[in-house]
Structure 1
């Protein structure tokens, strides 16, 4: 775990506790209310428990401590995916058939449909991040372009001292940054986008039962984009619409738009406009005497001359006429 990441958890440490108690029953009831009903066995050590909580959109962040060593058996979480990592102490986390030896360098990603048992050491204090199961499955379905046949189940071990783990810490840090100033409210659209980024990081960077299918889907998407690009370049001076481009790319409109967004950061039709603008610019640079800007614009599909001139100047820092006259 990066040192800056732990320092960035200060808003969570400063949050008012949902409970802070030396009473074992109160601690159990408090965690049940925030997370899930579970069996809790107290072992060695003094009970010194608390649970702190911050909510941003549908993502819940918790800081949980029992003080004493405990055994926890919640069974399947069912409704949510849970990431947890010790900030102090260690834990043995059994998720399905896999056991994770969790410490400050290694966390656990707990899928909703796998049985769970945990053994926390004395003084163990953990960061928990809770994401609704339906959001994970919706995102996975969207990436695949198909309905899921079975629940998403992740490899439980989550190594933080890796490029993927450090990226994950940065994303959690971005969420927590909104709580650095009391009363500061994050924009709703940003929150939604950040939630999706967190989920897609897990789906695209962390191993799970749909990983291979997503890799194949990504390869197919790249091929579809290349086919669409070739078609666009060959028909730039002809009328083009999204349905025709998608058909040439061998995919649906929705899938092609998602693939272009991933590979080019823009829609297929925005890509068409950029390619047409580039061709118009090249023609203006090498135009013969007597060439008119209007003729060049129309040849490359720009019907509205004023709009063409505005976009051209925004892109190239000069007007089409200035390029023509140079």
Structure 2
């Protein structure tokens, strides 16, 4: 994890510092002829959350993005982004998604602080492959305008805000300090981005599975989970290992077992936590053991544990 914070009124310094985070660009102040830049960057792996406010009206003319996507979400104010031959008006109700290799420029009015979600192209393509069950045959291209008021969009934004808040706590008992937890959360954010905002694979992702999964697929998935549930396994990992899409795998579990792959995985992990709590020493921590095996929400973990074993995790530990 790393972070950067900066405040400056120097236009050239603002251009250089922002350019180092994103890409080289031309920065032209508006009538104010100056900026009051406030910048905060929090980065983890292939993802970052950037809070950016120029403090005055500006025109930004960047080079095309080479290897990453940006989702720009104003807190207030407005801007216009010319991207892929279209003008998109960025407001509190409309985010702008910028895809690599497509020219763009943008203008922000004074008083338009915004949050930017940054994700490497390789991460997006990897998650598309997990969701589809095959590699993308062309780059993922998002529609530039993205409504922020739908339930899915609000849920995704809450995830981004939570991600930023946890990155700010790095080294101070953040949930993202644990690599396995951080990896799963990154995959969830990118996967939900692909489901929430339209792009050239959206129709394929939402289409019903053409081939209902066979019972053999579910048996293979269960065997794989039973062999590897102690590892930082995700539903994407399972689908990839079996050569199917995440949707196909989920459909199979629902039809054959009336559950989900992750619920089955959690059940196996609960058994593992139970065994470890029974043999752990007096100084062991329930929270540490739960986090080690992928349980992030302690309230939900405790409830599932009690339902399965008839007692609380702390009771097992003390026994």
Into which bin does the TM-score normalised by the smaller protein fall? 0.5 to 0.7
User: Does the 8 Å contact 1:63/1:128 carry over to 2?
Assistant: yes
2: CA distance, partners of 1:242 / 1:166: 32
Alpha-carbon distance change, 256 to 140 in structure 1, aligned in 2, over 3 angstroms:
closer
Give the superposition deviation at 1:117: 0.9
Alpha-carbon distance change, 130 to 242 in structure 1, aligned in 2, over 3 angstroms:
closer
SS for the counterpart of 2:63 is coil
Q: Does 1:22 align with 2:9?
A: yes
Give the superposition deviation at 1:174: 2.4
Give the superposition deviation at 1:104: 1.7
2: CA distance, partners of 1:144 / 1:61: 26
Alpha-carbon distance change, 59 to 316 in structure 1, aligned in 2, over 3 angstroms:
closer
Give the superposition deviation at 1:175: 0.9
TM-score, normalised relative to structure 1? 0.65
Structure-2 residue corresponding to 1:114: 102
2: CA distance, partners of 1:48 / 1:242: 54
1:231-278 deviation digits (Å, cap 9, x = unpaired): 98xxxxxxx7679xxxxxxxx9431787334644228x99xx9xxxxx
Over 4 Å off, 4+ runs = 179-182, 240-243, 314-317
Instruction: Structure 2 unaligned segments of length 5 or more: list them.
Output: 223-240, 269-306, 311-319
1:138-160 deviation digits (Å, cap 9, x = unpaired): 11122222222211001111211
TM-score, normalised relative to structure 2? 0.66
Summarize the alignment of residues 164-183 of structure 1 with structure 2, pairs less than 5 Å apart.
164-179=152-167, 181=169, 183=171
Q: Does 1:159 align with 2:147?
A: yes
Structure-2 residue corresponding to 1:197: 188
1:17-49 deviation digits (Å, cap 9, x = unpaired): 2x3111111110011111101122222124211
Summarize the alignment of residues 276-295 of structure 1 with structure 2, pairs less than 5 Å apart.
none
2: CA distance, partners of 1:167 / 1:65: 24
User: Does the 8 Å contact 1:113/1:153 carry over to 2?
Assistant: no
Q: Of 240, 248, 270, which aligns to 1:259? A: 248
Structure-2 residue corresponding to 1:49: 37
Q: RMSD of aligned C-alpha atoms? A: 3.3
Give the superposition deviation at 1:177: 3.5
Instruction: Structure 1 unaligned segments of length 5 or more: list them.
Output: 1-14, 233-239, 244-251, 274-313, 318-326
2: CA distance, partners of 1:81 / 1:175: 17
Q: Of 219, 226, 240, which aligns to 2:209? A: 219
Relative to structure 2, which stretch is displaced further, 26-35 or 113-122? 113-122
Name the count of aligned residue pairs. Answer: 242
2: CA distance, partners of 1:124 / 1:224: 48
User: Does the 8 Å contact 2:153/2:196 carry over to 1?
Assistant: no
User: Does the 8 Å contact 2:133/2:245 carry over to 1?
Assistant: no
Q: Which has the larger radius of gyration?
A: 1
